[in-house]
């Protein structure tokens, strides 16, 4: 039954003229789960979030949020969700408190409740000192926190975060992560888009990798890493002439063919640190001088590279988009 | 989260008006926090009054003027003021165009559209606030006019009708301006496009020169231009000189024609803009 899912989308297609932004996206998010939608710019992340939050209508396919159809029951969907987009969508001439009041009023909440809830959010997002200052005076991180607070005023059970930390400095990013982790601990369902692998790894239990408007992989961060072959041993030799000899040595401990790139030889292994010790011994016996040796867990970057053939933070080379719609990532 | 946020009961005026007022309040707070924008929206019409009264004033004869130059200049000032009022409220549209375009760039439109608020409330709030700002503009203009010799001689009640008609027109063109703003790719283009159509529309009217002084083919356009009938209606209501009107129905019945034109324009542009709005995402 799709109705008890927080998000259930099947075969969602979105075309902008000739450009296919989504090409049959399937997505399921269980209640209370945090799902990361990971992909490069132009992969279709924002388009998907905009469809789920009723801002765009799909060209084909169905999507239900909290059991409501995004096309035929948009008001019910809007009441169930909070949306934080790529920009800080707050009014910069109003104060932080005035912004929260406005959004609370537009959710048709009781004025007394809005007042209490605003104070609660300002306190917990570390904005109480700046609450009565115009947003123009806020830093980027403060604006994002206010933006997130605005989408929480009605206590939505499902939260869409579209690249919540894009453009933030590292300290503000960590602050945002802490806030999001707090929400998750309270039981909010979160669908988060990001092009930062690190972010998906940190926040999401389940990661959906998309490229060219399609799901190309799906699973936990660990499962995705295992999918491309687990650990690798990496040896850098002092003398490039010895790289071939090092590869021969590694072949004795590895589970696959070693790859040589300049003075660096790498090979897939299993067995963790024992393999490392064996490799060091064998290299020593063979008289190969090593400048660096390490055992590397694959990162999501490796996953992305092996799945798509290009790095995650590279722009997907798609057809030119209609400029006036801005970023459709 | 387990607690559910309490929803208030439906206000008597309905959600569309409630939400419209919430958005209008936000837009009006904006005008207060950016006094520069309000200041310049007041300065421009005042400059127009002074330019027309003292630079062109002597050169544009109003049929039915007094005989000497002093009386003629004075008659033109009384003729001019309703024209300036009409032009000024028409330019309220440009503020709506830019305002909507800025909201789209800031991503606010996305947030509004993802809220369970009434459809069109963002536009109702925008047009309402932009028309409301004209109250202050009209007050400052009226004082300026009074200083240069403009007088209301048609009675208090008629004067109130004249001001209400001007505000209705400001509200009407704000819908046109909002519709244009929604179609613009960025606020920079919006500020140009928002003004471009207003110059011909306000100058091809009786705002500054009598229609009878225009070539025949232009007379027809000017006669059906709601700016002309608005200006003519306010001249009549304020008891200011109207000049001699060519024989066109709108010019013989300026008040009903203006009200009908406003109703029609609002109906068309509100439909267009609300439809456009529900498909718009931030740029």
Beta-carbon separation of B26 and A91 below 8 A: yes
pLDDT in tens, B153-200: 999 999 999 999 999 999 999 999 999 999 998 999 999 999 999 999
Give the separation between CA A277 and CA A98, rounded to whole angstroms: 62
Closest approach of A107 to chain B, Cα-based (Å): 6
**Is the model's pLDDT at A233 over the cut of 70?**
yes
Stretch B229-235: mean pLDDT: 97
Q: Which of the two residues, A8 and B8, has the higher pLDDT score?
A: A8
pLDDT in tens, A98-139: 999 999 999 999 999 999 999 999 998 889 999 999 999 999
Sequence spans of domains, chain A:
2-225, 231-296
Residue with tokens 């009386």: B71
- Which one of B7, B15, B111 has the shortest CB-CB distance to A109? B7
pLDDT in tens, B245-267: 889 999 999 999 999 999 999 99
Q: Measured between beta carbons, which residues in chain A are less than 8 angstroms from residue B117?
A: 106-108
B16 touches chain A (CB under 8 A): no
Q: What pLDDT sits at residue A268?
A: 82
Q: Measured between beta carbons, which residues in chain A are less than 8 angstroms from residue B111?
A: 83, 85, 89-90, 103, 150-151
Beta-carbon separation of A83 and B110 below 8 A: yes
> Contacts by B29-38 with C-beta closer than 8 Å and gap 24+?
B29/A93, B29/A94, B29/A98, B30/A91, B30/A93, B30/A94, B31/B129, B31/B133, B33/A93, B33/A94, B33/A134, B34/A93, B38/B133, B38/B136
Q: What pLDDT sits at residue B136?
A: 93
**Is the model's pLDDT at A325 over the cut of 80?**
no
Which residues neighbour B58 within 8 Å (Cβ) at sequence distance 6 or greater? B69, B72, B73, B76
In this prediction, what percent of chain B has a pLDDT beyond 90? 63
- Among chain A residues, the shortest Cα distance to B20 is held by A106
Q: What pLDDT sits at residue B244?
A: 85
pLDDT in tens, A5-64: 999 999 999 999 899 999 999 999 999 999 999 888 888 999 999 999 999 999 999 999
Predicted-assembly ipTM surpassing the 0.95 threshold: no
**Is the model's pLDDT at B224 over the cut of 80?**
yes
| pTM to 2 decimal places | 0.81
**Is the model's pLDDT at A321 over the cut of 60?**
no
Per CATH, the homologous superfamily of domain A2-225 is P-loop containing nucleotide triphosphate hydrolases (3.40.50.300)
Substitution target in A105, A121, A162, A325 with the highest count of B β-carbons within 10 Å is: A105
Q: What pLDDT sits at residue B231?
A: 97
pLDDT in tens, A131-160: 999 999 999 889 989 999 999 999 999 999
Closest approach of B20 to chain A, Cα-based (Å): 9
**Is the model's pLDDT at B150 over the cut of 80?**
yes
Substitution target in B116, B181, B277 with the highest count of A β-carbons within 10 Å is: B116
**Is the model's pLDDT at A324 over the cut of 60?**
no
**CATH code matching the domain that covers A231-296, chosen among 1.10.3720.10, 3.40.50.1220, 3.30.70.100, 1.10.1760.20:** 3.30.70.100
With cut-offs at 50, 70 and 90, classify the pLDDT of residue A88: confident
Stretch A151-170: mean pLDDT: 89
Per-chain mean pLDDT for chain B: 90
Under DSSP, the state recorded for A188 is -
Cα–Cα distances (Å) from A294 to A59, A265, A273, in that order, read: 49, 11, 10
Per-chain mean pLDDT for chain A: 86
Q: What pLDDT sits at residue A294?
A: 86
With cut-offs at 50, 70 and 90, classify the pLDDT of residue A329: very low
Sequence spans of domains, chain B:
15-277
Which range, of A91-105, A214-228, B24-38, B204-218, averages the lowest pLDDT? A214-228
Give the separation between CA A38 and CA A192, rounded to whole angstroms: 8
In this prediction, what percent of chain A has a pLDDT beyond 70? 92
pLDDT in tens, B49-97: 888 888 877 667 665 555 577 777 788 889 999 999 999 999 999 999 9
pLDDT in tens, A185-224: 988 999 999 888 888 888 898 999 998 899 988 888 888 8
**Is the model's pLDDT at A273 over the cut of 80?**
no
Q: Measured between beta carbons, which residues in chain A are less than 8 angstroms from residue B22?
A: 102, 105-106
């Amino acid at each position: 039954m799709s109705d008890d899912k927080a998000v259930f989308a099947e075969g969602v297609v979105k075309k902008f003229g000739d450009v296919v932004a989504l090409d049959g996206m399937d997505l399921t998010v269980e209640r209370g789960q945090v799902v990361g939608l990971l992909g490069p710019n132009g992969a279709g992340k924002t388009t998907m979030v905009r469809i789920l939050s009723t801002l765009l209508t799909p060209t084909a396919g169905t999507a239900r949020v909290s059991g409501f159809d995004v096309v035929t029951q948009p008001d019910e969907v809007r009441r169930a969700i909070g949306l934080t987009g790529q920009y800080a969508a707050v009014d910069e001439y109003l104060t932080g408190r005035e912004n929260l009041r406005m959004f609370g009023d537009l959710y048709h909440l009781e004025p007394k409740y809005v007042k209490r809830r605003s104070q609660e959010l300002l306190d917990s997002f570390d904005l109480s000192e700046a609450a009565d200052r115009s947003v123009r005076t806020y830093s980027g991180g403060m604006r994002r926190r206010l933006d997130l607070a605005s989408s929480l005023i009605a206590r939505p059970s499902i939260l869409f975060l579209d690249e919540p930390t894009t453009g933030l400095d590292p300290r503000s990013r960590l602050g945002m992560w802490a806030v999001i982790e707090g929400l998750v601990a309270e039981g909010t369902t979160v669908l988060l888009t990001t092009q930062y692998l690190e972010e998906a790894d940190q926040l999401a239990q389940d990661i959906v990798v998309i490229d060219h408007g399609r799901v190309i992989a799906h699973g936990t961060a660990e499962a995705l890493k295992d999918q491309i072959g687990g650990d690798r041993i990496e040896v850098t030799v002092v003398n490039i002439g010895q790289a071939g000899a090092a590869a021969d040595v590694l072949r004795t401990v590895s589970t696959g063919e070693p790859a040589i790139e300049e003075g660096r030889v790498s090979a897939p292994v299993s067995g963790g640190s024992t393999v490392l010790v064996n490799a060091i011994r064998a290299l020593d016996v063979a008289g190969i001088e090593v400048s660096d040796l390490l055992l590397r867990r694959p990162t999501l970057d490796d996953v992305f590279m092996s799945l798509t053939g290009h790095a995650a933070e590279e722009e997907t080379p798609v057809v030119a988009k209609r400029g006036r719609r801005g970023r459709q990532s | 989260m387990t607690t559910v946020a309490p929803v208030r009961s439906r206000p008597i005026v309905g959600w569309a008006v409630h939400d419209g007022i919430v958005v209008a309040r936000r837009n009006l707070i904006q005008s207060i926090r950016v006094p520069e924008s309000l200041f310049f929206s007041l300065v421009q019409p005042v400059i127009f009054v002074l330019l027309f009264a003292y630079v062109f004033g002597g050169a544009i004869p109003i049929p039915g003027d007094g005989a000497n130059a002093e009386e003629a200049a004075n008659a033109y000032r009384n003729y001019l003021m309703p024209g300036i009022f009409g032009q000024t409220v028409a330019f309220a549209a440009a503020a709506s165009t830019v305002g909507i375009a800025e909201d789209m760039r800031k991503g606010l439109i996305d947030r509004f559209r993802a809220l369970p608020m009434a459809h069109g409330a963002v536009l109702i709030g925008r047009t309402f606030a932009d028309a409301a700002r004209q109250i202050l503009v009209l007050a400052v203009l009226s004082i300026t006019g009074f200083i240069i010799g403009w007088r209301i001689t048609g009675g208090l009640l008629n004067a109130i009708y004249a001001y209400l008609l001007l505000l209705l027109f400001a509200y009407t063109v704000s819908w046109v301006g909002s519709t244009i703003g929604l179609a613009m790719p960025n606020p920079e283009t919006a500020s140009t496009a928002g003004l471009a159509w207003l110059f011909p529309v306000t100058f091809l009217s009786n705002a500054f020169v009598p229609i009878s002084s225009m070539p025949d083919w232009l007379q027809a356009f000017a006669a059906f231009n709601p700016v002309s009938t608005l200006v003519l209606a306010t001249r009549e209501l304020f008891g200011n000189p109207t000049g001699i009107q060519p024989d066109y129905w709108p010019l013989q019945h300026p008040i009903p024609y203006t009200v009908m034109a406003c109703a029609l324009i609002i109906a068309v542009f509100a439909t267009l803009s609300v439809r456009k709005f529900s498909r718009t995402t931030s740029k």
